[in-house]
Structure 1
Amino acid sequence: MEPNVAESLSSSMGEKPLAVRIWQYKLHYVIVISAMIFLFVFKIWPLLQGLYMSMVDYKPFLGLFASEWIGFGNYRMLFSQPYFRETFVNTVTYKLAYFALSAGIAFAAAISLSGIRSPRLRGWSASVLVLPYFLPSVLVGYWILLLFNPSLSPFSLSERPLLLGSGSSVLIPLSAEVFKTSGISILAAVTAIAAKHASATSEVQSAHGFWRMTGKPAARAIIAVALIQLSVFATTDQELLLLLISPLTYENLGTIDYFVYQTGLMNGQYSMASAAWFVKYAIQIVFAAAAYFVIRGSFLADLFHPLARDGIAPQRGSGSRVAGTAVSILSIIAVVAIMILLFVYPFFAPGEKQLAIGDLISVPNLIVYVLLYGAATIVSMLFALVLAYPMTVNRLPGRTFYRLFLIICMFSGPAVIHEYMFFRNAGMVNTVFPLALLGITNFAAVFVLKSIFNSKHAHLKMQAEKEGKGELAAFFTLFVPNIWKPLIGLGVLQFVLLWHSYLPSVLYINDPSRQAPLTFLFNMTRMEPEVMADPAVMQAGALLSLLPVALFLVFRRWLTSEVMLSALVKK
């Protein structure tokens, strides 16, 4: 009913002349123009430099603009390389398998959970399935290396290293990524089912049957989530795969992301790496724009629900309740078992410590990064707040261009090569400034905030305009009061993302003692096996990984399915 109210209010207001509308929404243009200037300096200009680099034979001693122009020569050479073609095929195959596995698990789990009678059990079950997202990829990768190496594993899983098998080398990280992220799809599907039941009377529910009330909403939500994931089709969990890729697994695990990392930063072929990155960028920007407009036109109501409730009318029949309870119990057991392995077992692991936890965790450095990431998170929340507000005005001239500009910026990073060159030329290497600046932009949060507000409160915004309330007054009295909870949830996700990330520290800070706290786990995987498997390393990894888990438990109620969607484009 609310969207119809908004439409009727919009039509009743009439179409004002362009100049009048521009003056009416001058506050939004101040926001948009200021944001564009900032984003041009830190996003678009490095992007243009990277594009130029991909078309020259870059020589560091000559500089970018003095290097020889070769046009599309790097791109022709790129596609002539068997290694790049292999990584391209690996990436496509990996992502298609991820989509299929994640969607299948999400649909089955959501249907099963919808049959649980107890709202509390259903809510906790869905939360348990989301919890793995809050485990750092570096911790997951570290334990994969331990568990599937016969000489290091505390359990006898195999007599030979499973990561060296052609099939298992892909299946293991693929399963880990599905384990980490499929809970988001499940939560979206369960919420869609709840919204469908909340919008219908018991008589309508009985008349429509199981498929229309449960199966179809879940399927549409999962398709919508898959469309969001399509926008990062050429991106994999680089921080997980970087730990697992070796010369023996590169043929199966090498992806475009790793090709860019290896070619540019390890081999110094910056132009070739830039060309590979822009191939990936071109694919993703096309998919992202297409996914955005398809979701906006056909699936937006399946993700952002004005009538969503915590409760779902339980499915009739004992079979669905038994299935739901069984899935709930099994999922809880599986996740709890993994949490015990990651956070409890390290403190009871056999063997003598050769290292001390104090050698691996520097308390002053820990405090620095908590404050740094906390400050970056607060700035990112304010950034998302003001950038989302102009998109709540349906009749804002230039609104479509603004959305496309944000989409272009959203997928311009993380960029290993041209962002590194930008910060190096600015003299920021070996400082924490790149880590902070990379953490203050959260474009996914911008789109989530505007979608949440528009799905639930667009009619109030239209009413305020009709009554002649100013845009600044509406911002503080209408927009902020109605989206502060999801804004905090998005801030939690941003902090968790920054806390999990070790690759920026590896790229920008050479001194290990000044790198982000969890970076030590990545460094340990490059040590001798005996050092890597030291109980102190396990314990330090567990302690540093507790903070994101604690944040999830504290803010669980605000980490809704709508908020969690922003995590799907952060990889």
Structure 2
Amino acid sequence: MEHNSVEHREGIHTESRPKQTRSLEGWFSLIWKYKLHYLIALPALLLILIFKLIPFFKAIYIPFIEYEIFRGIANSPWVGLDNFRQLFKAPEFRHILANTLIIKITYIIACGFTALLISLAISGIQSRKLRSALSTLILIPYFVPAVIFAYAVMFLLSPSQSPLFTFDTFILSEPSLFRPLLVAVEVIKTSGIPVLIALAAIGARHAALTRDGNYLMESNANFSRMNLIPALRAISAFMLLQFSTILSTDLELISTLVNPLVFQTGDTLNTYMFRIGFMNAQFSVAGALWLLQFIVQLLFTLLAYLLVRGFFFHDLFSTSKDVSDIHVRNKSGSFIGTLITMVYLLVALLPLYVLFIHPFITSSTSEVNLWELVSVKSFVLYVWIALAAVIIHLGITLTLAFPLTVKNLPGRSIYKAFLLFILVMGAGSIHEYIFVKDMGMVNTYFPHLFFGFFSIINIFVLKSIFNSKYADLKEQASQNGRGELHAFFTLFIPKIWKPLIALGVLQWVFMWNSYYTSMIYTSNPDQFSPILFFRTLSTSADSMGIPPGDPVIMQLGALISLPSILLLLIFRKWITSEVLIGQIRKL
């Protein structure tokens, strides 16, 4: 009996070894089969290692030392948790944290509600051309640089300079009014993105029913199933993705609108971090705040990713590309939809009137004209810097997205988690500044170039677009014995080149419209980007002999805004709702 049991146990072990060996061999055979996916990602991963991971190692060390800029990280004294204690004991910290949460949550709710209302209104308009035109108009404010849009709002609300309204006081200096005004401005500027996402979801629902031959029956029976539910689901996904940045706000928009009179209600973690880090040189305390923000938002990002992937993926990535798939039969609904959308646009486009029309029909009292303010060299240089960065960015996005098109790729889950980890890091933080300083690149153009390489969310957007539409084609090509190199050049690139170009356009717009990188890495005015020059001019125009609020300032703002808006109009057909998902974390 005992002899038989020993033989039985040995038999089990001898049978399990071949299974384990076969499993290991199968794993290695898959790695060999998909070797191109690993090799093609290596150059991009090397860039991420240099420009994201190395600074991140500094980020997790700086909060625990008393960083002294002339002694460097290695020679600065270790202080343990003192920086965190100092941060939490700061009397303003709790108010600033509360401000951030209130502003962010209010924005998410207000933007979601506005997008739902406007998307339902536009979806009720019969004319396809009118629907398309209105959806484009709603997008335009997003393509205006935040600092210029905020300056136009300030001018519009000015008691002494507003061309349209009369105010007794400057309402942006009222603490009780600042938050709702800030949220309203941000909603107007950014709500075009969730509106288009919701309209695409509605269009996908209409297109699906049309293909199935059930459109007439459904459209006559149930408006909520045709329009309301798809829009609600899409906007819910948008709101979930917004919660992934729960402790972040639009630094450039808020820092333009905020002033010391409203710090008690308008100061946020981003403005506070910038102030204590870059202005007060409390690098370690700012680093502690960044690390806290990173940990919280990493958890929220992972949660949002899992929820959106599990419940809302098909609401965001569908076969519908624009509003032309929506069919409308109700004339009275079309009139109401047009009326609601027009009223909203009347309000939303007021800052654009102040920017693009009013300064060109008003006489300037300045002795300096527009063309004396424009630096052609700066314009041309930053156009090419952004373009060069975008070309590298497209290569990174393309090569890092391709491995995610293979569902059984060994290590795929770890790879996705790694990319999400990099995604949450963001850009322009204290540790990246220290990295740039240590590399001797401060007051050079290299930071503008290098940090323009990365927008990790675009990798997920590109792979989701491909997988939602063409995954079956890739599987079929694999079954037919086509290699992965063949799939990359004859299937992947031909199918996604239009959304890839659109993502590149949006990355260029983001770089051109933002002054933050130029501000923290450049102290030489001759090297300022055009948008940073505008910000400097708008806050110190009198030092240049220009009266504050003079039309020439807004003329310069209009000129700087023009390239981004022209790109929107040129590439509008390619800038679909799916592509715009990549902008959600930047709102």
Tell me which interval the TM-score lies in, with the shorter structure as reference length: over 0.9
Match of 2:474 among 461, 477, 485: 461
Partner Cα distance (1:294, 1:333) in 2: 36
CA contact (8 A) 2:141 2:190 kept: yes
Match of 1:401 among 414, 427, 436: 414
Tell me the secondary structure at the aligned position of residue 199 of structure 1: helix
Tell me the secondary structure at the aligned position of residue 539 of structure 2: coil
Counterpart of 1:161, as a letter, is F
Could you list the runs of 5+ residues in structure 1 that have no partner in the other structure? 1-13
1:201-250 superposed Cα distances (whole Å, 9 cap, x missing partner): 22552476111221111000000111111122211110111112222121
Q: Partner residue of 1:19?
A: 28
1:158-204 superposed Cα distances (whole Å, 9 cap, x missing partner): 11111111122222222111111111111111110110111112255
Match of 2:187 among 178, 194, 198: 178
Counterpart of 1:83, as a letter, is E
CA contact (8 A) 1:128 1:335 kept: no
Tell me the secondary structure at the aligned position of residue 241 of structure 1: helix
CA contact (8 A) 2:321 2:576 kept: no
Q: Partner residue of 1:410?
A: 423
Alignment of 1:153-168 (within 5 A): 153-168=162-177
Partner Cα distance (1:197, 1:537) in 2: 47
CA contact (8 A) 1:198 1:308 kept: no
1:337 shift after superposition? 4.4
Alignment of 1:222-301 (within 5 A): 222-301=235-314
CA contact (8 A) 2:173 2:259 kept: no
1:276-301 superposed Cα distances (whole Å, 9 cap, x missing partner): 11111111111111111111111000
Counterpart of 2:68, as a letter, is K
1:494 shift after superposition? 0.5
Counterpart of 1:130, as a letter, is L
Q: Partner residue of 2:134?
A: 125
Partner Cα distance (2:495, 2:323) in 1: 18
Partner Cα distance (1:35, 1:547) in 2: 29
Equivalent residues, number: 558
1:334 shift after superposition? 4.0
Counterpart of 1:561, as a letter, is S
Counterpart of 1:299, as a letter, is F
Q: Partner residue of 2:363?
A: 350
Counterpart of 1:487, as a letter, is L
CA contact (8 A) 1:518 1:544 kept: yes
Partner Cα distance (1:159, 1:207) in 2: 52
1:441-495 superposed Cα distances (whole Å, 9 cap, x missing partner): 1212111100000000000111111112111110010000001111111111001
Deviates more, 1:283-292 or 1:340-349: 340-349
1:94-153 superposed Cα distances (whole Å, 9 cap, x missing partner): 011101110111111111111111111111111111111101101012223323332343
- 2:489 maps to 1:476: yes
1:396-422 superposed Cα distances (whole Å, 9 cap, x missing partner): 011111111111111212232111110
Tell me the secondary structure at the aligned position of residue 468 of structure 1: coil
Partner Cα distance (1:260, 1:206) in 2: 52
Tell me the secondary structure at the aligned position of residue 60 of structure 2: helix
Partner Cα distance (2:321, 2:377) in 1: 44
Tell me the secondary structure at the aligned position of residue 408 of structure 1: helix
Could you list the runs of 5+ residues in structure 2 that have no partner in the other structure? 1-22
- 2:372 maps to 1:363: no
Change (3 A) 1:336 1:154: closer
Deviates more, 1:530-539 or 1:83-92: 530-539
Partner Cα distance (1:410, 1:453) in 2: 20
1:420-447 superposed Cα distances (whole Å, 9 cap, x missing partner): 1100110000011001111111212111
Partner Cα distance (2:322, 2:91) in 1: 52
Partner Cα distance (2:305, 2:72) in 1: 38
Deviates more, 1:27-36 or 1:474-483: 27-36
Partner Cα distance (1:531, 1:364) in 2: 25
Alignment of 1:15-414 (within 5 A): 17-200=26-209, 201-206=214-219, 209-307=222-320, 310-414=323-427
Change (3 A) 1:48 1:531: farther
Partner Cα distance (2:295, 2:176) in 1: 30
1:303-356 superposed Cα distances (whole Å, 9 cap, x missing partner): 000355643454554432221121233344445544332112111223412322
Partner Cα distance (1:130, 1:286) in 2: 30
**Whose radius of gyration is greater, 1 or 2?**
2
Partner Cα distance (2:571, 2:507) in 1: 13
CA contact (8 A) 1:101 1:178 kept: yes
Residue identity over aligned pairs, in percent, reads 37
Tell me the secondary structure at the aligned position of residue 530 of structure 2: coil
Partner Cα distance (1:412, 1:485) in 2: 28
Tell me the secondary structure at the aligned position of residue 60 of structure 1: coil
TM-score, normalized by length of structure 1? 0.94
Deviates more, 1:213-222 or 1:141-150: 141-150
Q: Partner residue of 2:503?
A: 490
CA contact (8 A) 1:381 1:487 kept: yes
TM-score, normalized by length of structure 2? 0.91
Partner Cα distance (2:547, 2:76) in 1: 44
